Amino acid sequence: MSHISDFLVIGSGIAGLSFALKAAQRGTVTIITKKHDTESNTNYAQGGIASVMAADDSFDLHIQDTLVAGAGLCHRDAVEIVVRDGPQRIQELIAWGARFTKKRREDGMEELSLGREGGHSRHRIVHTADLTGQEVERALIEAVKSHPNIRVYEHHVAIDLITEHHLRDKAQMRERGTTCWGVYALNTTTGVVEKFLAKATLLATGGAGQVYLHTTNPSIATGDGVAMAYRAGADVANLEFMQFHPTTLYHPQARSFLISEAVRGYGAVLRTQDGREFMPEYHPLGALAPRDVVARAIDRELKKSGDSCVYLDVTHKPADETRERFPNIYQRCLALGLDITKAWIPVVPAAHYMCGGIVTDLNGCTSIRGLYACGEVACTGLHGANRLASNSLLEGLVFSHHAVMHGIAFVDRHTTSIPPDIPEWNDEGTFDSEEWVLIAHDRTEIQTLMWDYVGIVRSNARLIRAQRRVRVIAEEIEEFYKKTVVTPELIELRNIATVASLIIECALTRKESRGLHYNTDYPYADDVHWKRDTTISAEWRKRSSV
Ligand code: FAD
Ligand code: SIN
C-alpha cells in the first residue's frame, strides 16, 4: 500500500506538529506516529519553554547562559537564532491555542508567569503549571486535526528511509546522488508494511532515553530517527552527550517520574540522607548549577555514602504555593504516600535528553537531499556538550520553522518527480519467529550495559567493555532481523542497538571530559584537540568498523 503527499512528517511531538501546521499552508502533509498521537517526549515536559520575555532579561543573557552550559561546543549561530526567534515562536504557540500560566501585575494587568531553572541567570521559563508539554501537545494536536491538508496515521512505526538504494534501477543512484523519498512504515494494527512517499521528509522522532535502563523518557524514545538516518548514510554527531536529569523520583512504583528542575528553581535544595545540603560544595549556583554538575555531584555523593538516593527538600516553602505551582508532582507523589510539602523527596538521576543527533544546518537540512531533521533527533549545534534546561522545546519550534521555510522552497522547485520504481516492502524469506524472549532479553541487556558502563561517569575500560558486548548483541540482532517478520519490538531493538553503538563510538573518540561526557581516564577538557564535534560521517565510517 502506498501513500503520497508533498510533505511527510515522522513524529507527532512539538517539532513534527509545528512543522506540519506550516507546511500545510503550501501542500498536503502526512504525519505518521508510532503510537497514539500525543505519545511523545513533548507530552511529558514539565518545566517549560525558555525564552526572553521579562523586562530584566535580554537576548545576550540567554545566549550567554546557553553557551556556558554548552561547555565550549555550542555553535554560536544556532544559539543566536534560537534565542532571538524565541519570543515570536512562543506567540505563535499561543495563537495556535496553548494556554500558559499567567500572573497579575501590580497595575492589575496579566502577564506570563516565568519560572527559573538550573543554569539560567533570569526567570524566563514559560510554563503551564508543571504540565507544560501536555498543554503544548493538546493545542498542536487540536490545530493539526482541524487542518484539511493534514492526515495523521497513528500506530505506524517507521522502519527505514527510502533512498536511491531502494530503486530497482540502480543507475539512477549515480545520477541523483542520495535523496530521500519517504519511508517504509509498519502499520501495527494490520501488521502490513506500507510505503509513505513525499517530496520532502521530516524526521522528528525525538530522543533515545530508552537506550538506558533508567530514563525519564516514555517508551517511544528508542532513537529510531538517528538509527534510520545513520543507516541511510546521513551524518550524525555528539552522541556521547547524553544528558542525565538529576532528579527523578526514587520509588519502586514510579521510577522514571521526573521531579522538574523548576522545583529547584522555586527554592528546593538537595540533601544527603543525613540532611547535609551538598550542592554549595560543588558549584556557586548550588542546586541551580547546570545539570551535568548536579548529576555528577549526586553520583559522587551516592558512591561515597552507599545510599540509594539523595533528597530534594521543598518543605520550607509555603504548602499552598507548592501545591498550586506543582499540582502534577504534588498529586503524583501524594498518590504514592509522599506529601512533598512535609517530607523530602527521594531522587536519583536518569537518562533524559540526547544532545547529539542527526547533523543539520540552520535550515534543518541533513546531508541527504529532501531529508530534514528537527527537535531532539537533530544536532543543530545549539546544545554543544550540555543542554541548558528548557531550551529543547524552544529548539524544536525554532528549527521546525526554518526547516519548513526551506522545505516549502524545496518542494516548489522540485523538478524531478518521485521515482515510479520504488518497490513495495520485501519480506520474502522471512518467517514469524517464536524467539520473542530474545528480544526482551537483548533490550534489557543493552540498557543495563549502557547504564553501568556508559553512564554519568565513564572510563576507557568501561567503554571498551560496553563496545565489545554491544557489538556482539547488535550482530545477533541484525541476523535475527534479516530472517524475521518485522514487529515494533524488533524495529526498536535494532535501533536501540545501533544508537547504543554510536554513543559508545562517540564516547571512545572523545579523549577528554567536557560537559555531559566525563571520562576518569581524561578528567579535563582539552581545548587544543577536542573543542569540536564528534561527527560520524561517511568518510569516518570508511575508516572505522561501525
Ligand atoms: P518528541 O516529542 O519525543 O516526539 C517524537 C515523536 O516521534 C513521537 O510522536 C513518537 O511517537 C514519534 N516516533 C518516534 N519514533 C518513531 C517511528 N519509528 N515511527 C513513527 N513515529 C515515531 N524540554 C524542555 O524544553 N522543557 C521541559 O520542561 C522539558 N521537560 C521534559 C520532561 C520529560 C519527562 C522529558 C522526557 C523531556 C523533557 N524535555 C523538556 C525535553 C523535551 O520534552 C523533548 O526534547 C522534546 O519534547 C522533543 O520534541 P520532539 O518533537 O523532537 O520529539
Ligand atoms: C524539567 O522540568 O526539569 C525538565 C526541563 C528540561 O528538560 O528542559
- Asked if 154 and 162 count as a contact pair (C-beta separation under 8 A), the reply is no
Domain ranges of the chain: 2-240+355-413, 245-350, 436-545
The answer to whether the CB of 389 is under 6 A from ligand 2 is: yes
Please report the pLDDT score of residue 169 as a whole number: 64
Neighbour count for residue 40 (Cβ, 10 Å): 32
Q: What is the pLDDT of residues 463-505, one digit of tens each?
A: 999 999 999 999 999 998 998 899 999 999 999 999 999 999 9
For 293, the enclosing helix (H) or strand (E) is: helix 291-305
Q: How many angstroms does the Cα of residue 86 sit away from the middle of ligand 1? A: 19
Fold topology of 245-350: Flavocytochrome C3; Chain A, domain 1 (3.90.700)
Q: The C-alpha cell of 78 is what?
A: 544556532
What was the pLDDT predicted at 15? 98
pLDDT band, residue 165 (cuts 50/70/90): confident
**What is the pLDDT averaged over residues 120-142?**
97
Is residue 509 classed as helix, strand or coil in its secondary structure? Answer: helix
- By the 8 A CB rule, do 172 and 422 touch? no
What does the pLDDT average to over 56-69?
A: 97
259 lines ligand 1 (CB under 6 A): no
pLDDT at 168 over 90: no
Band (pLDDT 50/70/90 cuts) for residue 274 is: very high
154-170 burial by CB neighbour count: b if 16+ within 10 A, else e?
bbbbbbbbbbbebbeee
CA of 111 to the centre of ligand 2 (A): 22
Contact 205, 187 (CB under 8 A): no
Q: How far is residue 82's CA from residue 375's CA, in Å, rounded to a whole number?
A: 12
545 — pLDDT class (breaks 50, 70, 90): low
Q: Which of 137, 110, 61 is nearest to 396 (CA)?
A: 137
Query: For residue 76, what is its C-alpha cell?
Result: 554560536
Separation between Cα atoms, residue 123 and residue 395, nearest integer Å:
18
* Phi, psi dihedral angles at 519 (to 5 degrees): -120, 120
Task: Report which ligand 1 atom has the smallest distance to the Cα of 375.
Answer: 52
Return the C-alpha cell found at 506: 562517540
H helix or E strand, kind and range, residue 111? strand 110-112
Mean pLDDT in the chain? 94
Query: Ligand 1: does its nearest atom lie under 6 Å from the Cβ of 224?
Result: yes
Q: Which residues pair with 156 in a beta bridge?
A: 187
Q: What does the pLDDT look like over 80-93, one tens digit per residue?
A: 999 999 999 999 99
Q: Which three cell numbers stand for residue 372?
A: 530534514
Residue 524 contacts residue 480 (beta carbons within 8 Å): no
Catalytic residue among 124, 264, 291, 462: 291
Is residue 379 exposed (0-12), middle (13-18) or buried (19+ Cβ within 10 Å)?
Answer: buried
Q: What is the pLDDT of residue 22?
A: 98
3-class state of residue 378 by DSSP:
strand
Whose C-alpha lies nearest to ligand 1, atom 39?
45
Query: What average pLDDT does range 509-537 have in this prediction?
Result: 96
**What's the rounded Cα separation, in Å, for the pair 82 and 59?**
10
Confidence tier at 162 by pLDDT (50, 70, 90):
very high
Cα(275)–Cα(297) distance, integer angstroms: 15
What pLDDT is recorded for position 187? 98
Among 261, 264, 386, 388, name the best residue to mutate to test ligand 2's pocket (greatest count of ligand atoms within 8 A of Cβ).
Answer: 261
Measured between alpha carbons, how far is residue 29 from residues 25, 203, 255 in Å?
Answer: 9, 13, 37
What is the mean pLDDT of the segment spanning 329-346? 97
φ, ψ dihedrals at 168, nearest 5° = -70, -40
Q: Is 134 in the pocket of ligand 1 (CB under 6 A)?
A: no
Q: Which CATH number fits domain 436-545: 1.20.58.100, 1.20.1280.50, 3.30.420.40, 3.90.1150.10?
A: 1.20.58.100
Strand-pairing partners, residue 29, are 7, 150
Is residue 255 pLDDT above 90, yes or no?
Answer: no
CA distance 110 to 107: 9
Per-residue pLDDT band for 326 (boundaries 50, 70, 90) equals very high
Look up residue 522 and give its three cell numbers. 581524561
Position 439 scores a pLDDT of 79
Q: What is the pLDDT of residue 202?
A: 98
Q: How many helices (H) and strands (E) does the chain have?
A: 16, 20
Q: Which residues contact 450 (CB under 8 A, 6 or more apart)?
A: 211, 212, 213, 466, 470, 500, 503
> In the predicted model, is pLDDT for residue 172 greater than 70?
no
- The count of C-alpha atoms lying within 13 angstroms of the C-alpha of 444, restricted to the half-sphere facing its C-beta, is 4
- pLDDT beyond 60 at 71: yes
User: What does the pLDDT look like over 419-464, one tens digit per residue?
Assistant: 888 899 988 777 777 677 777 789 999 999 999 999 999 999 999 9
> What is the spatial distance between Cα 89 and Cα 107, in angstroms, rounded to a whole number?
27
- CATH homologous superfamily of 2-240+355-413 equals FAD/NAD(P)-binding domain (3.50.50.60)
Query: Residue 416 has what pLDDT?
Result: 65
Contact between 262 and 125 (Cβ < 8 Å): yes
Among protein residues, the one with the nearest Cα to ligand 2's atom 8 is 390
Q: Is the CB of 46 under 6 A from ligand 2?
A: yes
Mean pLDDT of 262-277: 95
With a 6 A CB cut-off, is 113 part of the ligand 2 pocket?
no
H-helix or E-strand containing 199? Answer: strand 192-203
369 is catalytic: no
